Amino acid sequence: MNYNLKENHKLLTEFQYQPSKADKGYTNKSLYVNLSDNKIKEKEVTEMIKEKFIGGRGFGLWYLWNAVTPNTKWNDPENEIIISPGPVAGITQYPGSGKSLVVTLSPNTGTVVDSNVGGYFGPLLKFSGFDALEVQGKAENDVVVFIDGNKGIVTIEEAPEEAVDSHILAEQLTEIYSESEEDKKNISVVSAGTAAEHTTFGMLNFSFYDVRRKAVRLKQAGRGGIGTVLRDKKIKAVVVRFKGVKGDSNNPADFEKIAKTGVKLHKEICRLDDSQNRMRHNGTTFLAGIMNDYNLLPTENFRFGSHPDGKLLTAKEWIKYFDYNGKADGCWYGCTLGCAKVVCDFELTSGPYQGQKVVVDGPEYETIAAVGSNLGIFDKEYILEVNFYCDTYGIDTISFGTTTAFLMECYQNGIINKETTGGLELTFGNKEVALKLLHQMAKGEGFGKIAGLGIRKQKELFVKEYAADAEFLNDIGMECKGLEYAEYVSKESLVQQGGFGLANKGPQHDEAWLIFMDQVNNQLPTFEDKAEALHYFPMFRTWLGLVGMCKLVWNDIVPESNKDNEEPAKITEHVQNYVDLYNAVTGNNIDINGMLDQSEGVYQFQRVFNLRMGYGTREYDQVPYRSMGPVTLAEYQSLQEQYDAQLKELLGVEPEGKSSEEKMKLLRQYREGQYHKITDAVYERRGWTRNGIPTLETLKKFGMDFPELVEQVEKHQ
């Protein structure tokens, strides 16, 4: 059957090239594909680009900056999707070394967004001769872009017959473009799905072929609607084939150093993982129980942080479903932490694939919380089903969950009703309706079309169409900058409120996740401490996305010696590992401060990029009050003793004799004031004005004083 699929491809263009070998982590070429005029070309990656932008997210930001204007919208042809793996990506000696970063203008936020992802595509792209792929323009009909890194051929092919949903499409294309069963591991497919066509929060799947299970597996670049951009460009998939990955394919400067650093971590994982987070067994599901225990698990649209049924979602409940045979389940070669869990032969109970037995990748913690507890649903098989359908339909589980949670709270407050939802009873806990809504999104039908708009547009719509109270919707709608919140209750951690609100792309936890350091450990007592943490951690974590490394091997395994470190939260030994790897691959010689400087340059660039697109000032860093404190009486009363004590201790107010409403108002005034203070402190630490704009001195300090950036910030000084 698949042979016929290929026969029906129509070749639009073919580009031949001489694949460049990687040298010290870089091939020094990027690939540019334009779908509007079917032009393909190679570009030089200059020393300037490498020095200032390093790779990964940095390369994506630089190429996108040069592709768009301040007036470009996400669905304009000049918007690009850029995929770049970074210089360290593709080594096989150190766990977590196969990451790609994807950058585009986001349908959710209107400005630049980045999302990181595992799977084989990034490393295979590099070994095919390219440090980055830029795709611009729009095709007339559905196309596949195919890169054959061995033959040195790139094609754009109309592909009318293949499926759109990823679990089928990735299998079809893996079979079409591989030369044998043995060759399937050399294929990686980037695709979205049918729901990406009808929602603003479509995501990308990056495939890898699981040789042991003879199955195509999918990892996700979830945030910011990149899958929506992919389908808007009429791209069914981007496929890479490269045979010949070796341990030294990056041609590193110091292979011995990489091998030695890798062996040290492999031994550490083998020695300690079973007594720490058990990532090899649990994946990230271990967080669900922990978050529930510490009152941090979003429950019913972030109203609460815990639920008695949270115990049904703990890791020991999930491992019963996992197909785990004691060998590492990594999403790139050499990852002994192996957190990529899988459920095999899962029988679907709904939707177009009802009754079929499928492979489900995950679930990750974020998915469990987003589509489960945050909707008041604690049914594992429902979560697996939603996980599968979100993946194959190409939508982000976080945005789907957070959006549906918002809709459920709107429904329970009478803002929307059975009539406006077309009969869907969107009450917390209603799993059948959550699934129906998801299937509607895939078809672009019914209330699914409104659900697919995301929270920011829904708020505008509900105010306009249903005379909803805008202030209430702004309080409970968990989005910032247009991006839906990731799944952590931040009410009791001012630093985490800033970690979400002051992040460049919106409230995703991959910049700064500091709840335990702040709320539980109480290690950040002063505003100076808090601002320092909200400087160091975003800069460090941004760097991982420049070089192509995974965050999980930084702190989901912790060396014994770390407990004696003066700053245990930083896990400095592992940070030094990353620096050593970067130096060993590239031949550079930076230290941890040099690493942070590299990162900060790119971070400042991204902030100015936001400014250029009409955002990037203080007003866009404001967060919904639900992320700061109790919006409703029920929330206040659920932690009344704690809140009353805070009124006494922090405000010097005697709670006795005051109504709950009065106490809530006082608490709100205090917490909103605190958020402004942390905003000021962080801006100062990052070298920004009180309006959140990098100063000229800051740009100069990090070598980002390009005339076009200076022009942007001068307008606002």
Partner 1 sequence: MIKVNGRDFPWEEGLTVTKLLEKKNYTFPSIVIKINDKTISEDQWEIMAIEDGDDVKAIHLITGG
Q: Does 554 bind partner 1 (CB under 8 A)?
A: yes
Structure tokens given for 543: 């760097």
Starting at the earlier edge strand, list the strands of the sheet with 204-210: 10-16, 153-158, 143-148, 235-241, 187-191, 204-210, 215-221
Per CB under 8 A, the list member of 184, 219, 509, 607 interacting with partner 1 is 509
Q: How far is the CB of 522 from partner 1 (least distance, A)?
A: 4
Residue 515 vs 664, nearer CB to partner 1: 515
The alpha carbon of residue 113 and the mean position of all alpha carbons in its chain are separated, in whole angstroms, by 9
Instruction: Name which position in 522, 526, 593, 659 contacts partner 1 (CB under 8 A).
Output: 522
Question: Which CB atom, from 127 or from 537, has the smaller least distance to partner 1?
Answer: 537
- Nearer of residues 325 and 522 to partner 1, judged by Cβ: 522
Q: Of 138, 67, 130, which is closest to residue 103 (Cα–Cα)?
A: 67
- The residue assigned the tokens 């918007």 is 79
Within 13 Å and on the Cβ side, how many CA atoms surround 617?
A: 11
Q: What is the smallest separation between the CB atom of 515 and partner 1, expressed in angstroms? A: 8
Query: Among residues 436, 530, 541, 612, which is the contact residue for partner 1, using CB under 8 A?
Result: 541
Considering only 571, 579, 667, 681, the residue that binds partner 1 (CB under 8 A) is 571
Q: Which structure tokens are listed for 426?
A: 């969107």
Least Cβ distance, residue 336 to partner 1 (angstroms): 18
Q: Tell which one of 1, 325, 563, 593 touches partner 1 (CB under 8 A).
A: 563
Phi, psi of 652 (to 5 degrees): 70, 30
Site track 128-167 with partner 1 (rule: CB under 8 A), x = hit: ----------------------------------------
Binding partner 1 (rule: CB under 8 A), the pick from 312, 569, 590, 592 is 569
Q: Which is nearer to partner 1, 213 or 551 (CB)?
A: 551
| Residue 520 binding partner 1, by CB under 8 A | yes
List 165, 409, 556, 644, residue binding partner 1 (CB under 8 A): 556
Q: Which stretch binds partner 1 (CB under 8 A): 186-194, 256-264, 402-410, 549-557?
A: 549-557
Query: Quick one: 555 or 622, whose CB is closer to partner 1?
Result: 555
The structure tokens listed for 156 are: 């754009």
- Binding flag, residue 318, partner 1 (CB under 8 A): no
What is the footprint of partner 1 within residues 329-368 (CB under 8 A)? Answer: 365-366
Quick one: which segment of 52-60, 240-248, 416-424, 511-519 binds partner 1 (CB under 8 A)?
511-519
Q: Number of residues in contact with partner 1, rule: CB under 8 A?
A: 39
Q: CA angle 125-130-132, nearest 5°?
A: 85
Q: Applying CB under 8 A, does 294 fall inside the site for partner 1?
A: yes
d(CA 328, CA 335): 7
Here the tokens at position 204 are 């990308």
Among 65, 411, 488, 543, binds partner 1 (CB under 8 A): 488
**Is residue 555 close enough to count as binding partner 1 by CB under 8 A?**
yes
β-strand 80-84 against 39-44: which pairing, if any?
A: unpaired
Asked if 526 is part of the footprint of partner 1 (rule: CB under 8 A), the reply reads: no
CA torsion angle for 378, 381, 384, 386 (degrees, to 10)? Answer: -70
Span near partner 1 by CB under 8 A; candidates 142-150, 430-438, 562-570, 606-614: 562-570
Strand partners, 221: 204
**Residue placing its CB nearer to partner 1 in the complex, 148 or 487:** 487
Q: Does 568 bind partner 1 (CB under 8 A)?
A: yes
Q: Give the count of alpha carbons within 13 A of 361, CB side only.
A: 27
Indicate which single residue of 290, 312, 470, 696 sits in contact with partner 1 (rule: CB under 8 A): 290
Name the segment binding partner 1 (CB under 8 A); options: 167-175, 227-235, 440-448, 518-526. Answer: 518-526
Q: Are β-strands 112-117 and 132-136 bridged in parallel, bridged antiparallel, or unpaired?
A: unpaired
Name which of 453 and 533 has its Cβ closer to partner 1. Answer: 533
Contact set for partner 1, span 260-289 (CB under 8 A): 275-278, 287, 289
Long-range contacts of 566-575 (CB under 8 A, 24+ apart): 569/517, 569/521, 569/523, 570/536, 570/540, 574/265, 575/540
Minimum CB separation of residue 557 from partner 1 in Å reads 9
Least separation, in Å, of the C-beta of 150 and partner 1? 37
Minimum distance from CB of 293 to partner 1 (Å)? 5
Closer residue to partner 1 (CB): 486 or 664: 486
Cβ neighbours of 214 (radius 10 Å): 9
Burial 24-58 (b: 16+ CB within 10 A, else e): bbbbbbbbbbbbeebebebbebeeebbebbbbbbb
489 touches partner 1 by CB under 8 A: no
Candidates 50, 241, 303, 570; binder of partner 1 (CB under 8 A) is 570
Q: Is 566 in the site for partner 1 (CB under 8 A)?
A: no
Among 564, 566, 619, 656, binds partner 1 (CB under 8 A): 564
If you write DSSP's letter for every residue of 90-139 in order, what string do you get? T-SSSSS---EEEEEE-TTTSSEEEEEE-SSHHHHHHHTT-SEEEEES--
- Least distance between partner 1 and beta carbon 629 (Å): 19
DSSP class per residue in 394-418? TB-HHHHHHHHHHHHHHHHTTSS-T
Can residue 523 be called a binding residue for partner 1 (CB under 8 A)? yes
Hey, what are 391's tokens?
């993946």
Q: Whose structure tokens read 């051929």? A: 153
Closest approach of partner 1 to the CB of residue 550, in Å: 11
Q: How far is CA 74 from CA 191, 416, 700, in A?
A: 18, 29, 30
Considering beta carbons, is residue 24 or 311 the nearer one to partner 1? 311
Q: What is the residue-wise DSSP string for 685-700? A: HHTB-TTS-B-HHHHH
For partner 1, give the closer residue by CB, 351 or 499. Answer: 499
CB atoms within 10 A of CB 253: 17
Spatial neighbors of 461 by CB under 8 A, at least 6 apart, are 450, 453
Of the candidate residues 42, 293, 317, 672, the single one contacting partner 1 (CB under 8 A): 293
| Alpha carbons 223 and 104: distance in angstroms, whole number | 11
Distance between CA atoms of residues 353 and 195, nearest Å: 15
Q: Report in angstroms the alpha-carbon separations of 1 from 161, 184, 241, 667.
A: 11, 17, 21, 64
549 lines the binding site for partner 1 (CB under 8 A): no
Q: Does 396 bind partner 1 (CB under 8 A)?
A: no
Residue of 537, 580, 529, 531 lying closest to 555 (CA atoms): 537
Looking at the Cβ atoms of 564 and 619, the one nearer to partner 1 is: 564
Q: Which residues contribute to the site for partner 1 (CB under 8 A)?
A: 275-278, 287, 289-290, 293-294, 365-366, 486, 488, 509, 513-517, 520-523, 525, 537, 541, 551-552, 554-556, 558, 562-564, 568-571
